Structure 1
Amino acid sequence: MKVLSVNAIQLNTSAASKEEAIQLAGALLVKTDCVAPKYIQGMLAREKTMSTYLGNGVSIPHGEYENYADIKKTGISIVQLRDGIVWGDDEKVYLVIGIAASSDEHVNVLSRLAEVVDDEDILNILIHTDDPHTIIRYLDGA
């Protein structure tokens, strides 16, 4: 299942806060017609109740259960932060991966992302690439 497109990737960017980074990831999900605009508020609310930091410089913001109605189709967005951003207790995030998935598909998407995050070589490529197709090649099975 194709869950990522070039239009859902923003490379070599910056954000002043994790909230801004989440908004950037959410805006890409809106742009690619994966979610309704109000889904972004759910992503921000989720982050306030529980950190979406996954590890190794990656966060995976997504909406709360109540926001599933705002999901139009499964998809992910990628925001690559060139200088990283502090995300909680001194964790630095370089890849913000916005997720829009129903409860059934959510597990499959998270499983694939966890595999990638555990592979430091692949993760290093994703954090530093300037080619959106490289990101798609590694993550589109998500």
Structure 2
Amino acid sequence: MNSNTKIESELNKREIRPTAMRMIVLRYFLEEKNCTSLTELEEKFDHADKSTLFRTLTTFEQKGLIHRIEDGTGFTKFGLCTEDCDCSFDFQHYHFHCINCNETFCLKSLKPQSLNLPKGFMVQSANLVLKGHCSNCN
């Protein structure tokens, strides 16, 4: 199965119509090892319409293909979801933000411990960001 067919299949699996821009953006997420922001995508794809990139990220997030990360930089970043991810609190994982190179990484193998919240409390979202130096900068 060639790369385009694989990307098209992944989009179809999430019920996302495989347009050229969506395929390009998904390929970028699949090839990158770190999370990315809309601004970074705009710089990478300077020929692309900014609103199309924004709508692509919005669609990907709504369909559970990517998830949003607030890493404290002032820029929302996005990371690729795993196939079984439903972006609920139970699927949360840590993120790592390097204070040297400013990259943010998904640490999908590190899961938060279960929380025993007081009665009446209900988690709607969580921001699980560790900060320090990544393996490239350490």
Same fold (TM over 0.5): no
TM-score (norm 2): 0.29
**Which one has a bigger Cα radius of gyration?**
2
Q: Bigger relative contact order, structure 1 or 2, given CA contacts below 8 A and separation 6+?
A: 1
Q: Relative to total residues, which structure has the larger helix share, 1 or 2?
A: 1
TM-score (norm 1): 0.29
